[in-house]
A and B are shown apart, each in its own frame.
Chain A
Amino acid sequence: DTAVSQTPKYLVTQMGNDKSIKCEQNLGHDTMYWYKQDSKKFLKIMFSYNNKELIINETVPNRFSPKSPDKAHLNLHINSLELGDSAVYFCASSQRDRGIERGYTFGSGTRLTVV
């Protein structure tokens, strides 16, 4: 029943490791996003895909690589993890009807801790 689901919910890993976070939405939305929320609760967009096509790519280190195998899935792979990557990562999806935004649906987040 979950509209936007992310796995894993928690991820603790050592510096230098490579890890992936997966996201799936069953809402039929065309657009999916990755947001990063830091310890001060600021949310910053990282990437956006529309129908498997990358449309937003903010200033994010090359170590972060998104992949959208189909419009219902958006994964995030992170290479060579650093302490500063520790944050909560949120996946979201949205749909514009006739060009009108209707609000985003967020997943419950993946808390990444790099030690």
Chain B
Amino acid sequence: SQQGEEDPQALSIQEGENATMNCSYKTSINNLQWYRQNSGRGLVHLILIRSNEREKHSGRLRVTLDTSKKSSSLLITASRAADTASYFCATDALAAGNKLTFGGGTRVLVKP
């Protein structure tokens, strides 16, 4: 079974709106990472948040982590058509042998 599961599975918004997606996981983690995958391309690392951190920012991206609820969220502010992609959360957990385990992704469509 997947360690991380994203919600929603798909999201459609207008350019300029914010997009929020959530990730839940099952076991204690060292860190949680978010990746973007454009259609037909490889994954690109966006942000890594460690288990002792609660919030991190990178440009228009904001990631939060709640270890008590075993969940994380990714917020993209002022979305652009170029943000259209699939977004994956991935957990690095000691119990998983320090390998990165991915969720199923959220497909985001930003309409111009």
Contact = CB atoms under 8 A, between A and B. Distances in A.
A91 B42 CA distance: 9
A105 B45 contact: yes
Name the interface size band of chain B.
20 to 34
Contacts, number: 57
Main secondary structure of the interface of B (DSSP, over half): strand
Interface string B58-73: 0000000000000000
B111 to A, nearest CB: 21
14 contacts: A43-B43, A43-B102, A45-B101, A55-B97, A56-B99, A90-B43, A101-B48, A101-B100, A104-B35, A104-B100, A106-B43, A106-B44, A108-B41, A109-B41
Contact of A41 (B41, B97, B104): B104
B25 interface: no
Interface of A: 4, 33, 35, 40-45, 48, 55-56, 90, 92, 94, 100-109
Contacts of B102: 35, 42-44
Contacts of B40: 109
Interface of A is mostly: strand
A107 B35 CA distance: 13
Contacts of B35: 104, 106
B99 A45 contact: yes
B41 to A, nearest CB: 6
B33 A103 contact: yes
A102 B50 CA distance: 10
A56 B96 CA distance: 10
A108 B39 CA distance: 11
A100 B53 CA distance: 14
Contact of A101 (B30, B44, B86): B30
Contacts of B86: 41
Nearest to A4: B42
A18 to B, nearest CB: 25
